[in-house]
Structure 1
Amino acid sequence: MLGEQQSHTNIKERQAGLEKMYPSWEKRTIATHFYKQCQQYNDYPLIMMPDKVVTYEEMWKEAYNYAKAMLHAGVAPGDHVAVLMENEPEYVALFIASSMVGAVVVPLNTQLQKEELTYMLHQSDANWLITHQYAGKQHHAKALEDIVSELQNDTESPFKKAVCIPNKGAAVPEIYMTWDVFLQGAEVAEEMELNNRWKETDNPDTTAAIIYTSGSTGLPKGVMLTDDMLLRSGFATCLTRGYEVGRRIYAPLPIYHVYFLQEGLFAASFVGGGMVTCHAFQPLQSLELMEKYQVHDFLAVPSMLVALLNRPEVKHTNLDHLYALLCCAAPSPVPLWKRAVDELQVTEIGTGCGATEAGSTTMLTEIGDPLEIISTTVGKVKTAGAAAHAEYGNKSVAYKVIDPDTRETLPDGSVGELAVRGNVVTEGYYKKPEETAFAKDEDGYIRSGDLGTIDEQGYIRLLGRSKDLYKVSGETVAPKEVEDIISMHPAVNQVYIVGVPDQLTTETGAAFVELKQGETCTKQEIRKLCREHVARFKVPRYIWFVEAEDWPLTGTGKIQKFKLQDIAEEKLNK
């Protein structure tokens, strides 16, 4: 395939080719974008699963059919369609179909429990729910039966109907419209009616999705993103990483998360690329899928990368086509990157960072950056080419560093909270005016919650979350600084520190430490290491050793520090 021939060409040549393909930016809705891409790349695979492959042409036909079914069911322009589904091609088709009928997609995290999902269905003013009967081990159709009934019977609620896709052979609760009945509506709906609706609602500057933040800092907020924001962000990744035509990307990440949508699906769609995915990450299956589909690129989080490299089968798997690796969500040390390069033979490695508020990553390391840069920074602002904002040259966004308390802009080189603005940055949080006002200033800069610094070359270094800061006898401590020191101990696999109340010093540090398999280490060793490198007040008073399965994680493998805080305070109260 063309993609395979181009895969090892120079990054600059690939980027120049993309700029030639997209010399100017044409604003499009997600439906119109995929309509055009599906014509150009009709027989290219778009979604590859362990047991099925869906081409661009097949995806378009499916999406068009779903849009007719939505129209017949009564989905109105501006309706909010909550989607609670495992990774399946239907998910992508529903995203495109919703855009075609002018609806707003509300992707829901399948790992959430009933209480959390109930909050989101209420808070998002969901009009529709489309759910898999089961996702993972959770029987969502059963768990949400009561809330669906309550919403449908509440005359004050905007909720209309819930549709259930059976996927385990069990009976579907009667409160749901079944998937078969929903799809029968497509046979009745008129094509002309759908085409008229699509034309009426074809506005790239209206909200296309409300995507809830992962909840690593408390109650999730619904980030409103337009079609144009989502596509510009995807194109910036495509250009910065130099995607070639037909690029195949393995992403064992949930479709509901911006990491999959932006760095994967939308970015790949500009070059007829394909997404290889599965229901849940399994290291051995991952190797098999990358070999089967001759994958070029692997999107991962550090925990996935470690698990994959620890499989002995990695040495006997044919990964000749794999040359690129993007590992985000948490910092990875130099030894892990070295292992990835040695064992996977990848030649283009990188990391990045961003936020749902800015349509996923806004910064990426550059191809060819040394390991030291990749392991200590999250890169520079992405190149955006035709999708850029005139004010920022060839970028979509600009960053500055502010004082977390006063919001005052700090001088170059200062440490403070990172704030971002640009043409991919949200207007705010759905129905949360106070949170929006707190986050966004009059110039359009939205605070990230990340502490960091920007160096002279534009590389951004993260130093933790601003909410993670705590004060010991009036002295401010950034946990990331101390975590980095403890991580230097050869026995330590990972460490996270939170501030806990203390009668003597107001607050003090509590460290959760996971050791490498088979390694030993004492609290005294860790304290000694800290005292050698940081001021005494920064040395955590409490140290607890934990196992890998003890970490409270978000759906994308991030540690939920607010839950660690609760665990720490619970331990201390005992």
Structure 2
Amino acid sequence: MLEERQGHGSVVERQAALEKMYPSWERRTIATHFHKQCQQYSDNPLIMMPNQAVTYGEMWERAREYAKAMLHLGVKPGDHIAVLMENEPEYVALFVASSMAGAVMVPLNTQLQKEELTYMLRQSDTNWLITHQYAGKQHHAEGVKNIVSELQADAESPFTKAVCIPNKEADVPEIYMTWEVFLQGARAVEETALNKRWKETDNPDATAAIIYTSGSTGLPKGVMLTDDMLLRSGFATCLTRGYEVGRRIYAPLPMYHVYFLQEGLFAASFVGGGMVTCHAFQPLQSLELMEKYQVHDFLAVPSMLVALLNRPEVKHTNLKSLYALLCCAAPSPVPLWKRAVDELEVTEIGTGCGATEAGSTTMLTEIGDPLEIISTTVGKVKTAGAAAHPEFGDKSVTYKVIDPDTRETLPSGSAGELAVRGNVVTEGYYKKPEETAFAKDEDGYIRSGDLGTIDEQGYIRLLGRSKDLYKVSGETVAPKEVEDVISMHPAVNQVYIVGVPDQLTTETGAAFVELKQGQTCTKQEIRKLCREHVARFKVPRYIWFVEAADWPLTGTGKIQKFKLQDIAEEKRKK
């Protein structure tokens, strides 16, 4: 089995092959990029789902059909098309189609509620909405119809029409254009008309997508990313991790998220690779899909990795092709990485970090880094090769550490807020000049909200989010420092700490701890461990044990700390 896992060549060999394939950077729009890749890798599978697989060639034909339907609908260059869909091949085809039509894609989180969706549709100046009837348990066709009606009746809104894709046996409200009628419009548009629009709008520096990200305070902000930014970021991941031609990647992540788009779809597209995905992460289904499609790579977040490794079926699943694992979004302790290596038999593991503002990850650990580095850092700035910024050697970005309050640049090795500049970094937030001015300085550095340090080798260590810090009697506590200590206990699977109000000390720590299956641990043991490694004021006053199913998660499997704070408040009242 090990020989099969090593049949892909070393990472150095794969990186050399990529640099030979892409000796210089060709600036493309997403439509032009996929046109070229779909010609070269026409028969390769691009999107693989539990019950279907779509090749590059088939995806291109769908994208052209959807783009012609957009033109018939009335989509103009620069229009904003919001997409509220669960994972399906149509999602990718719509992204390519919107690029071909010269429109801007606005991916929406399918877990959002009415108020959130209303805000984003208005704030983004959405002209068109394409929605699934259902996404998971969310009945979007019903839930969004009043928003659609309000927007259409608002004379000041640019909103025009909503298209609904039925995916359940239920009637679609009349306010929507049906998917079938939308597609019929494609027949009335000549190929020459589409090619003319595509040529007229083929600008890699135009905004390709507005992707919303939640701020530490206030309402969500729409990050504007160009085609060139998205593709450069994807290529940097492809090169840093050494993607080989035809790499198959399992990513049970939502397509609206930059993690799926950048580390998966766009990165894989440079080598004719394919994405294996599903509607929502389920551990057993994940093992079945990884075996069915014999994936080479697994993109995960820690909560997914833990849940998958806890399934007894993992020992009996044929994962002979799997050799790579990228686990991001939150730090993972050494024991979890060891379990992954032992039980999945992966030979290339890594983690990373970034931000939507910088087109997903900007940092990745290197293949071959020791477990200690992978568990305590988020790596170095990605190698970008031909896609690099001319000022930064073979990198797309550079980082510095600033004082969060004064924005002064701090000396090397200092702890502070990380700020990033480069050719994959957004110009700002859509129609939010004040937030953009706060985040971005005159030199083009944008503040990340992450606290960290950069060592002499370039490795970046995160100390938490600036918004996650809390103060106990005036002393600042970074939750991650204490989380790392508690993770040292052999019975602990995951731990997250939040700050909660306290009458005596202003704030104090509240720890949520998930134990490994069959393991036991007491609150006293955790407090003793903390007292041995951190100052007394950092020891959490509250400790609650939780089950794996209790964690409040985002669509990408990240722990929602603000919800943990709400849960902590409820528990303290009891």
1:219 to partner: Cα distance: 3.2
1:521 is matched by which residue type in structure 2?
C
Name the counterpart of 1:451: 451
Secondary structure in structure 2 of the residue aligned to 1:500: strand
In structure 2, relative to structure 1, the CA distance for the partners of 1:95 and 1:458 (3 Å cut) is same
Structure 1, residues 439-467: CA drift from partner, whole Å, max 9, x if none?
11111111111111111111111111011
Aligned to 1:294: 294
**Equivalent residues in 2 for 1:154-553, closer than 5 Å:** 154-213=154-213, 219-553=219-553
Give the letter for the 1:330 counterpart: A
Deviation string, structure 1 residues 191-247 (Cα, Å, up to 9, x no partner): 221111111111000110001115686632111100000000000000001111111
CA contact (8 A) 1:325 1:349 kept: yes
Q: State the alpha-carbon separation in 2 of the partners of residues 369 and 272 from structure 1.
A: 27
- Partners of 1:323 and 1:380 lie apart in 2 by 22
Kept in 1, the 8 Å contact 2:5–2:323? The answer is no
- Look up the equivalent residue of 1:373 and give its one-letter code: I
* Cα distance in 2 between the residues matched to 1:216 and 1:402: 17
**CA deviation digits over 1:529-573, x for unaligned, max 9?**
222111122122222333333322221111122222233344445
Aligned to 2:108: 108
CA distance in 2, matches of 1:311, 1:467: 35
Cα deviation code 1:440-497 (max 9, x no counterpart) = 1111111111111111111111111011112222222111111111222223222222
Deviations 1:399-423 (A, max 9, x none): 1111111111111111111111100
**Equivalent pairs, count:** 571
Gaps of 5+ in 2: none
Does the residue aligned with 2:340 lie in a helix, a strand or coil? helix
Distance 1:518 1:276 in 2: 32
Contact 2:30 2:231 survives alignment (8 Å): yes
Q: What amino acid is aligned across from residue 508 of structure 1 in structure 2?
A: T
For residue 180 of structure 1, what is the amino acid of its counterpart?
Answer: E
- What amino acid sits opposite 1:394 in the alignment? D
Residues 100-139 of structure 1 correspond to what in structure 2 (within 5 A)? Answer: 100-139=100-139
Letter in 2 for 1:143: G
Once the two structures are overlaid, the 10-residue window that deviates more, 305-314 or 519-528, is 519-528
Question: 1:157 is aligned with what amino acid?
Answer: S
RMSD: 1.6
CA distance in 1, matches of 2:6, 2:37: 19
Alignment of 1:28-107 (within 5 A): 28-107=28-107
CA drift of 1:53 comes to: 1.2
Question: Within 1, Cα distance between the matches of 2:552 and 2:84?
Answer: 22
Deviations 1:469-528 (A, max 9, x none): 122222221111111112222232222222223333232222222233343333332222
- Is this contact kept in 2: 1:217–1:562, CA < 8 A? no
What secondary structure does 1:421 align onto?
A: strand
**Are the counterparts in 2 of residues 276 and 289 from structure 1 also a CA contact under 8 Å?**
yes
Deviations 1:301-358 (A, max 9, x none): 1111122222222222221111111111111111111111111111111111111110
Question: What amino acid is the match of 1:212?
Answer: Y
- Please say which of residues 404-413 and 212-221 is displaced more in the overlay: 212-221
SS of the counterpart of 1:391? Answer: coil
Question: Cα distance, 1:86 vs. partner?
Answer: 1.1
Q: Is the 8 A contact 1:258 1:359 kept in 2?
A: yes
In structure 1, distance between residues paired with 2:318 and 2:517: 28
CA drift at 1:151: 0.8
In the TM superposition, residue 113 of structure 1 has moved relative to its aligned partner by 1.6
Inter-CA distance 308–549: structure 2 relative to 1 (3 Å threshold)? closer
- Read off the aligned partner of 1:458 and give its amino acid letter: G
Q: What corresponds to 1:13 in structure 2? A: 13
Change (3 A) 1:417 1:271: same
CA distance in 2, matches of 1:42, 1:107: 26
Change (3 A) 1:69 1:551: same
Q: Within 2, Cα distance between the matches of 1:572 and 1:218?
A: 26
Q: Determine helix, strand or coil for the equivalent of 1:507.
A: strand
Whether the aligned pair in 2 keeps the contact of 1:337 and 1:371 (CA below 8 Å) is yes
What amino acid maps onto 2:201 in structure 1?
Answer: T
Closer/same/farther in 2, CA of residues 564 and 520 from structure 1, 3 Å limit: same
Q: CA deviation at 1:5?
A: 10
* CA distance in structure 1 between the partners assigned to 2:335 and 2:304 by the alignment: 15
Q: Is the 8 A contact 1:487 1:495 kept in 2?
A: yes
Gaps of 5+ in 1: none
What is the alpha-carbon distance in structure 1 between the residues aligned to residue 278 and residue 150 of structure 2? 33
Q: Secondary structure at the match of 1:462?
A: strand
Instruction: Report the residue type matching 2:116 in the other structure.
Output: E
- Contact 1:83-1:130 within 8 A present in 2 as well: yes
Q: Does the aligned pair in 2 maintain the 1:216–1:558 contact within 8 Å?
A: no
Q: Check the 8 A contact 2:333/2:484 in 1, yes or no.
A: no
Looking at structure 1, the residues matched to 14 and 156 of structure 2 have their Cα atoms a distance apart, in angstroms, of 54
User: Do the aligned partners of 2:211 and 2:222 also contact (CA within 8 Å) in 1?
Assistant: yes
CA distance in 2, matches of 1:7, 1:409: 46
* C-alpha separation in 2, matches of 1:421 and 1:50: 40
Shift in CA distance, 307/543, structure 1 to aligned 2, threshold 3 Å: closer
Between 1:512-521 and 1:232-241, the stretch displaced more is 512-521
Q: Aligned partner of 2:124: which letter?
A: S
**Counterpart Cα distance in 1 of 2:471 and 2:423:** 36
Q: Is the 8 A contact 2:508 2:541 kept in 1?
A: yes
State the identity as a percent.
89
Contact 2:216 2:467 in 1 (8 A): no
Alpha carbons 1:268, 1:274 under 8 Å: kept: yes
The residue identity in structure 2 corresponding to 1:251 is A
Secondary structure of the residue aligned to 2:196 is helix
Amino acid paired to 2:138? Q
1:27 corresponds in structure 2 to 27
Q: Secondary structure at the match of 1:451?
A: strand
- Cα distance in structure 2, aligned partners of 1:288 and 1:16: 33
Instruction: State the distance in 2 between where 1:251 and 1:455 align.
Output: 31
1:252–1:281 Cα contact (<8 Å) kept: yes
In the TM superposition, what is the alpha-carbon distance from 1:39 to its structure 2 partner?
A: 0.8
- Describe the SS at the equivalent of 2:398: strand
Contact 1:14–1:243 (CA under 8 A) maintained in structure 2? yes
> Could you tell which deviates more after superposition, 261-270 or 549-558?
549-558
**Cα distance 1:525–1:253, how it changes in 2: closer, same or farther (>3 A)?**
same
